[in-house]
A and B are shown apart, each in its own frame.
Chain A
Amino acid sequence: MRGKRGVWATRRPGVVSKYGTLLGLCITTASSFFLAAAKRLEPWEFVGAYLVLAAVLVCFALMLHSDAWPQRLAVLLGLILLAELLGSEQRDEFNPVFLPYALVLSASSVLVLSMRKTWRSILFTFMAFLLVLGYTVISASAVGVRPASAFILTATWIITLAMRLGGPRALALYWGDFAVRQESVAAHIVAQSRRSSVAWNTRHLHDTALRTLTVIGRQGAGLSSKELGEMLDAGTSSATTARPGPPLPGWTGVDFGASTSPGTPERGGLADRLRRIAEKRARDGFSVEIHGMTGPLTEPVQAALLAAVDECILNVDRHAGAGHVDVLLSGTSDHVSVVVSDSGCGFDPSKLPADRLGVKESVLARMRDAGGHAQVFSAPGRGTTILLEAVAA
């Protein structure tokens, strides 16, 4: 229900105005303690002071709902009256009640925070300032002391004016920047989620369908009919799948037979499980030896290492022309490293075709996604060494 500006009960206070009102409430409430400490008050002054205080607090409370000018004027007059009721000696800065006196008057500065960007509102606020300043200066002059409280009053009004002028813009900028950061969080989550799905599917397709297609493309060279049949049935060992990433919406329904995620993880440490892979990959003229041991590893890290090493072994078998591959395991308290080394034909890692996903996705990206790291050291005619590193459990 919005009406004409400046009309009673139609001015909805903004955030800055509400902050100001709460601040005024806080200062004025605190001043009640100092009132109690003012020893020289007459009983009627004491009662009157507390009645005025109650009225000011009610006006402040009303200002939380509407900061129309009558409330603000009532607050202003109430604060001046309250200051006056503290006594006449308080204007002297050598008097112990000087600070509560200055504080009560300074509480009027929060009215600036209710100022609107209209001439009427600006004029009203300026007149309010002149009123309270005039009272402070005249009352100090009447007693014959320097108006130190007027300086304090002016300073607090300037500070609240700066808050009024800069506060809304600062808040808008703050929330604007926060919104951008919020958007970045959402964009990162969505992009990351998509890439995780794509990565998982790419590796999976590479390790299953593409491997099988490659073998068929070579007319099944190097495999017996039985092995080829097994490959077509099972695709590849599902135990070496790094992680059953969330399927990308666009990839749902695409199933190459072996795309199901592994059920219960195989028992044993990394070395044991690698030995089982080595036995599986070994054949006449090609052997795999596993050396060393590692400490305990988390399941995702172990699965990533298994899948990456398996891919390395397959690459040696298919592309390196080497009859033997060594896998060296070592670990410290916080890291584990696996070195896969062969003395085959080697290759230039910088000239690896972009469409060769084996090393890029099934080894390097897989290790990165598991929080680890992989490096390829190779040169034509000088064999290949792949270093896989990850954080130990």
Chain B
Amino acid sequence: MTMPAMSRTSVEGPLFVSRGILATACVVLWILNSYLAFEAGSKMGAAPWHFLATGLDLLGLLVAVQASDAVTPRARLANLRATWLVLASASTCCAALATVREPGLALIGTNALLSAVAVLLVSHRWNLRGFVTLTVATAAINTAVYAVTPGADPRTISNILFLSLLPGVVGTVSVLLRRDAIQRKGASGLSGRLDALTRGIDAKTSARELELAITKTQIDELFAKVVQAPSVPLDPAVAREARELAGHLRQLLLEEWSDSWLAEALELEGLGGTVLIAQPTDVVDGLPESSRPAILAATMLMAVGATLRGTHSSGAATRPREAHCIHFFAQKSGQDGARLTWRIGGVHKKHLSPLVWTELDSLGRAKASNDREGCSIVVDTAGWRR
């Protein structure tokens, strides 16, 4: 039970529970923002700052949705976050300029709230530290920009600061509470699962143990026989017996290696029939130890992930059969890397669990494509030198 394996129970997946809810909240706030801006604009004549703020907010929202999408390559996320921050800051400036021309505090308040909720969406695939930093930065910008507008009221400044920080505080608390629950559930669930799997494997190995013990006794007897008469050349009958025992021992040892590590782990979970690992398996066995937990987790999530179940059945938690049959193929790539390919029948890549992409991202850059009959995912991993 190695520590790296234990620490995977707390691996960060998506930062928040539901991207959909966050996106909905942002869209609702954007609609409200737009309505307030357009209504103010219609009363006071065409005011470019209103429209510009709304447009920038819409662009920022699109960028935030893109940054939170599980399929977006991780390498692009930093650029998307920076782009969003620029757009949000520009939108705040426009809203503040509009407020100077008196469309009321509703617009600047909603704008601050929209930025603060959008931070959750932008940071969905980030870590807690990044999220908190972005929240504070956004709140500082929102508050500072309003604070320098003519006629800014200290009470309103503190309100805008509160509105800007509120979603961040709620988000941070929810992440911390969930992380704590993960640690607790992880520790108890893992030990229980380990016990169950170990009991299962013990039952399977008892037959082999008996056979090996018998072989061991025969080898001991043979060695004792040779020790009594060690003159070379040995008796041909003894030599024949040694060859037979060697062959039998080799056979016993080979039976232990009939499957790759991935097939063996999937078999333990009862997924041997769902995931087909293309032969030969020597490349699979040659994959570095460091990448194996992520490969197994991603494969299992593709096969039985709750998100996947949720999209294909009305609450039934049955494990998928032919419809989600997965083919896994590993081939050598580059100097000592490998190219891993998953072919998932009957599933659109959008329906895969966000955790799948978290695991695949830890292996390398994942490329996914859809077709009529399912989707294919290819990941190029670094080799043992990584």
Interaction A to B: yes
Interface positions of A (Cβ within 8 A of B): 19, 22-23, 26-27, 30, 33-34, 37-38, 92-100, 102-103, 146, 148-149, 151-152, 154-155, 158-159, 162-163, 166-167, 169-195, 198, 202, 205-206, 209-210, 212-214, 216-221, 223-225, 228-229, 232, 248-257, 335, 354-355, 357, 361, 365, 368-369, 371-373, 391
Q: Which of A30, A205, A372 contacts B162 (CB 8 A)?
A: A30
| Neighbouring A residues of B198 by C-beta, 8 Å | 190
B window 280-320: CB within 8 A of A: 285-286, 288-289, 292-293, 296-297, 299-301, 304-307, 309-310, 317
**Quick check: is B372 within 8 A (CB to CB) of the other chain?**
no
Interface contact B17-A98, CB-CB below 8 Å: no
Residues of B within 8 A of A228 (CB): 226, 230, 232
Structural contact, B32 and A151, CB atoms closer than 8 A: yes
Chain B residues with CB below 8 A from A190, complex form: 194, 197-198, 201, 265, 268
Is B329 positioned at the interface, with any CB of A under 8 Å from its CB?
no
From B48-56, B84-92, B104-112, B132-140, give the one contacting chain A: B104-112
Task: List B contacts of A224 (CB < 8 A).
Answer: 232
Shortest CB-to-CB span from B168 to chain A, Å, is 12
Chain A: CB-nearest residue to B293:
A188
**Minimum CB–CB distance for B333 against chain A, Å:** 15
| B36 partner residues in chain A, CB cutoff 8 A | 148, 151
A96 x B153 contact (CB < 8 A):
yes
Majority SS of interface residues in chain A? helix
26 contacts between A and B (CB under 8 A): A96-B105, A96-B155, A148-B106, A155-B29, A159-B24, A162-B21, A170-B18, A171-B18, A176-B306, A177-B305, A177-B307, A182-B9, A182-B185, A187-B197, A188-B296, A190-B268, A191-B268, A192-B265, A194-B201, A232-B226, A232-B230, A249-B205, A257-B223, A357-B254, A373-B336, A373-B383
A178-B109 Cα distance, complex, nearest whole Å: 37
Q: In the assembled complex, how far is the CB of residue B156 from the closest CB belonging to chain A, in whole angstroms?
A: 5
Q: Is the CB of B11 within 8 A of A173?
A: no
B residues within 8 A CB of A26? 166, 169-170
Tell whether B323 is near chain A: CB-to-CB under 8 Å: no
* Complex Cα–Cα for A178 and B183 (A): 11
B166 pairs with A173, CB closer than 8 A: no
**Is A185 in contact with B227, judged by CB distance below 8 angstroms?**
no
Task: Bits for B180-201, please: 1 = Cβ < 8 Å to A, else 0.
Answer: 0010011001100110011001
Contacts of A218 in B (CB 8 A): 239
Partner-contacting stretch, out of B72-80, B245-253, B339-347: B245-253
Q: Is B377 an interface residue (CB 8 A)?
A: no
> Looking at the complex, which one of B1, B21, B182 makes contact with A178 (CB distance below 8 Å)?
B182
Q: Nearest residue in A to B354 (C-beta to C-beta)?
A: A177
Q: Does B353 contact A177, Cβ atoms closer than 8 Å?
A: yes
Asked if A188 and B28 sit within 8 Å, CB to CB, the answer is: no
CB of B219 within 8 A of CB of A256, answer: yes
**Pair B306/A34 contact, Cβ less than 8 Å:** no
With most chain B CB atoms within 10 A of its CB, the pick from A19, A148, A176, A180 is A180
Once bound together, how far apart are the Cα atoms of A37 and B202, in whole Å? 70
What are the residues of chain B within 8 A of A166 when measuring CB–CB?
18, 20-21, 24
**How far, in Å, is B183 (CB) from chain A's closest CB?**
12
Contact with A along B1-41 (1 / 0, CB 8 A): 11001101101010001101100110011011001100100
Residues of B contacting A185 with CB < 8 Å?
A: 5-6, 8-9, 190, 293, 297
User: Which of B159, B212, B233, B268 is A251 in contact with, Cβ under 8 Å?
Assistant: B212
B-side interface mostly: helix
In the bound complex, residues from chain A placing their C-beta under 8 Å from that of B235 are 219
Q: Report the minimal beta-carbon distance from B77 to chain A, rounded to whole angstroms.
A: 20
Q: Is the pair A217, B194 in contact by a Cβ cutoff of 8 Å?
A: no
Complex CA gap A306/B286 in Å reads 21
Top 6 nearest A-B pairs (CB, nearest first) are: A176-B306, A250-B205, A93-B104, A170-B18, A250-B209, A186-B193
* Chain B residue at minimum C-beta to C-beta distance from A364: B286
Instruction: Tell whether, in the assembled complex, residue A229 and residue B230 are in contact, meaning their CB atoms are under 8 Å apart.
Output: yes
Contacting pair B264 A99 (CB below 8 A): no
| Minimum CB–CB distance for B258 against chain A, Å | 10
A182 touches B193 (CB 8 A): yes
Q: Taking CB as reference atom, which chain A residue is nearest B290?
A: A371
A185 to B162, CA, bound (A): 41
Given A191-B265, A372-B384: A37 in contact with B300 (beta carbons within 8 A): no
Q: Identify which of residues 224-262 in chain B touch chain A, using a CB-to-CB cut-off of 8 Å.
A: 226-227, 230-236, 238-240, 242-243, 245-247, 249-251, 253-254, 256-257, 261
CA distance A102 to B110 in the complex (A): 11
How close is A175's CB to chain B, nearest CB, in angstroms? 8
**Residues A205 and B232 in contact in the complex (CB < 8 Å), given A97-B155, A180-B300, A191-B265:** no
**Contact, CB under 8 Å: A250 / B212:** yes
B261 touches A191 (CB 8 A): yes
Q: Complex: how many Å from CA A371 to CA B385? A: 9
Q: Are B190 and A33 in contact (CB under 8 A)?
A: no
Interface centre among B1, B253, B268 (most CB of A within 10 A): B253
Q: Are A169 and B106 in touch, CB under 8 angstroms? A: no
Asked if B213 and A254 sit within 8 Å, CB to CB, the answer is yes
Asked if A102 contacts B249 (CB within 8 A), the reply is no
Q: Given contacts A94-B102, A187-B197, A192-B261, is CB(A251)–CB(B25) below 8 Å?
A: no
Given contacts A184-B293, A250-B205, A373-B336, contact A256 B216 (CB under 8 A): yes
CA distance A212 to B293 in the complex (A): 38
* Least distance between A171 CB and chain B CB atoms (Å): 6
Q: Which of B20, B104, B202 has the most CB of A within 10 A?
A: B104
Complex Cα distance, B159 from A158, in Å, reads 22
Least Cβ–Cβ distance between B332 and chain A, in angstroms: 11
A254/B212 in contact, CB under 8 A:
yes
Determine whether B160 belongs to the interface, using a CB cutoff of 8 Å to chain A.
yes
- Contacting residues, chain B, for A189 (C-beta < 8 A): 1-2, 5, 194
Residue among B35, B174, B220, B240 making CB contact with A151, cutoff 8 Å: B35
Given the known interface contacts A172-B306, A176-B306, the answer about A37 and B261 at a Cβ–Cβ threshold of 8 Å is no
A35 to B142, CA, bound (A): 22
Report yes or no: B226 in contact with A216, Cβ–Cβ below 8 A. yes
A213 to B35, CA, bound (A): 87
A335: B residues at CB distance < 8 A: 385
**Chain B residues with CB under 8 A of A250:** 202, 205-206, 208-209, 212
Q: B166 contacts which chain A residues (CB < 8 A)?
A: 26-27, 30
Chain B residue contacts of A159, Cβ below 8 A: 24-25, 28-29
Q: B286–A195 contact, CB under 8 A?
A: no
Q: Are A167 and B17 in contact (CB under 8 A)?
A: yes
